[in-house]
Chains A and B, each alone.
Chain A
């Protein structure tokens, strides 16, 4: 990583500028009436999905492990909020912190088995577990509502769209700072060592499995928070949140944005969602074409730019991140 002082300063300045712009954004959008409200909703979802993508990237980019079951934790968080608020009548400020907790517990159980495997087998086992959870939630009609999902989750009065946007943004920034601290800590460095060279990591005394499991749990917790936030935004939870195509979303975002940086997946996620919305706005029938467009983007990235947008930017401007 480039540690020259001027560069570090530039990073800080651009970070603060972006954060301030994000804080001002909803107040600008609120002046635009109906379309503005729509865009506040969209940007809120973007922030949430960016958090989801970044959480996966702790495993994927920094841990070097391909998890195809990250939706399990997203869904666990989503259903935790939905069930606690709808069935147990908990208020949001209690249900929301429960989401990452429950997701972390689920991640601990699943991860305990998964980190024993390597490469492709790890990917398939994570997929198997997330499908298992998906099927259970799908079938357990009396508890989870099956494929109807859980609707009509209450929303505290003070949380109008703008305030909810601000809540999500603040939580996102906190998570971002936390993840940055984790990635740059000695723990984060160890995790990156296991990615670069597993054998070597073992030789220098890193308890690889334990580190990977802890990393898996942390990532699961962040994903759970994202799931909880989306549930409250939509005011419903559905089985779709756990479907394996949901697990693919943050992977695509990481790939498009660039998975060897912290913000890459967030940018990738926002860019993909933005493209989708633009396409929808351009023409109604384009909604059906979205999968083809996404598939083609993916093909191009896989074949020509495996470093993603951040990688492309760094290649063009001659910087190198890690």
Chain B
């Protein structure tokens, strides 16, 4: 393998990883605060991708302007959907058995996925990339697809943004306090249920952003939600449930891992996330960055 080819693959793998991070960080954040593993996170991501497709056809997309509109509009739409889901459904199962929580979110998967099928049908779709992101860019003497480089750049921005939000703002301290001491937080006069609602909205916002970015990267169809949620599970388990930093590490490991393992193993590389997930759960169930509970 030449060094150029290696860098090419690395950029590819890392951009896949960054995309995964944007989606998985939402799942992890929501679990951290709500203690609910949201199976429907993948479905919300898929809805984001399809809404992006519809809006882009509506605007006769393909321009930079329309793509920016998608990036600005679609994630908040998902956040609003998230608001209604949290207030009407999730709120009722906090503190109940894991099984009931899991099944509630699984019921949502069934409903949302079928609604997507009813609205958009089963054909593969995509969003046209704006011209400026469509070609390839010369870096290090290599022609790299601009869009992958763009995704690769968005990931760290989100990561830094989340870090700043969580560790440098008051809202972030409240969220982190809600992870560790929800009762104390409530006693201090913070509206904990609103913290939960807004965290859930933030998680959905991230799912929506991931959806928009995916829609312009590859074809989207009815299977992407199911496919992504399992990958996100792997990421979140590897990094540690509830840890955003862990989600970043897990995403990059899985993104680059799959890309590089595809060279010698072909499609067998897709086994990698599950094998790694099982391995981490056996050796260190709380993940690389998480803390042991109970």
Given contacts A132-B278, A302-B107, A303-B89, 6 further A-B contacts (CB under 8 A): A124-B281, A135-B270, A139-B271, A244-B230, A291-B113, A299-B89
CB–CB A298/B230 < 8 A: no
CB–CB A303/B118 < 8 A: no
CB–CB A128/B115 < 8 A: no
Q: Which of B92, B104, B115, B267 contacts A139 (CB 8 A)?
A: B267
Measured CB to CB, the closest approach of chain B to A42, in angstroms, equals 22
Complex Cα distance, B104 from A251, in Å, reads 12
Complex Cα distance, B230 from A132, in Å, reads 11
In the complex, chain B residues whose CB is within 8 Å of the CB of A119 = 98
Residue A125 at the chain B interface, CB threshold 8 Å = yes
In the complex, chain B residues whose CB is within 8 Å of the CB of A288 = 114, 117-118
In the complex, chain B residues whose CB is within 8 Å of the CB of A302 = 93, 100, 103-104, 107
Q: Which of A117, A131, A255, A295 contacts B114 (CB 8 A)?
A: A295
Measured CB to CB, the closest approach of chain A to B116, in angstroms, equals 11
In the complex, chain A residues whose CB is within 8 Å of the CB of B92 = 303
Residue A123 at the chain B interface, CB threshold 8 Å = yes
Complex Cα distance, B267 from A121, in Å, reads 28
In the complex, chain B residues whose CB is within 8 Å of the CB of A244 = 230
Complex Cα distance, B121 from A288, in Å, reads 11
Complex Cα distance, B285 from A302, in Å, reads 28
In the complex, chain B residues whose CB is within 8 Å of the CB of A32 = none
CB–CB A113/B103 < 8 A: no
Residue B282 at the chain A interface, CB threshold 8 Å = yes
In the complex, chain B residues whose CB is within 8 Å of the CB of A132 = 271, 274-275, 278
In the complex, chain B residues whose CB is within 8 Å of the CB of A135 = 270-271, 274
| Contact mask for chain A residues 99-125; partner B; CB cutoff 8 A; 1 contact, 0 none | 000000000000001001111110111
CB–CB A139/B268 < 8 A: yes
Residue B37 at the chain A interface, CB threshold 8 Å = yes
Residue of A nearest to B265 (CB): A139
Residue A296 at the chain B interface, CB threshold 8 Å = yes
A291 with B111, Cβ < 8 A, contacts A125-B281, A128-B234 known:
yes
Main secondary structure of the interface of A (DSSP, over half): helix
Residue B170 at the chain A interface, CB threshold 8 Å = no
Measured CB to CB, the closest approach of chain A to B241, in angstroms, equals 8
Residue of B nearest to A135 (CB): B271
Binding site for A on B (CB under 8 A): 37, 89, 92-93, 98-100, 102-104, 106-111, 113-115, 117-118, 226, 230, 233-234, 237, 241, 267-268, 270-271, 274-275, 277-278, 281-282, 285, 294
18 contacts between A and B (CB under 8 A): A113-B282, A117-B285, A123-B102, A124-B237, A124-B277, A125-B278, A125-B281, A135-B274, A139-B270, A139-B271, A288-B118, A291-B114, A294-B107, A295-B108, A299-B104, A299-B108, A302-B100, A303-B93
A295 with B107, Cβ < 8 A, contacts A118-B294, A135-B274 known:
yes
Residue A129 at the chain B interface, CB threshold 8 Å = yes
Q: Which residues of chain A (121-169) have a CB below 8 Å from chain B?
A: 121, 123-125, 127-129, 131-132, 135-136, 139
CB–CB B102/A66 < 8 A: yes
In the complex, chain B residues whose CB is within 8 Å of the CB of A248 = 106
Q: Which of A128, A251, A295 contacts B274 (CB 8 A)?
A: A128
Residue A252 at the chain B interface, CB threshold 8 Å = yes
Residue A292 at the chain B interface, CB threshold 8 Å = yes
A128 with B278, Cβ < 8 A, contacts A292-B111, A303-B92 known:
yes
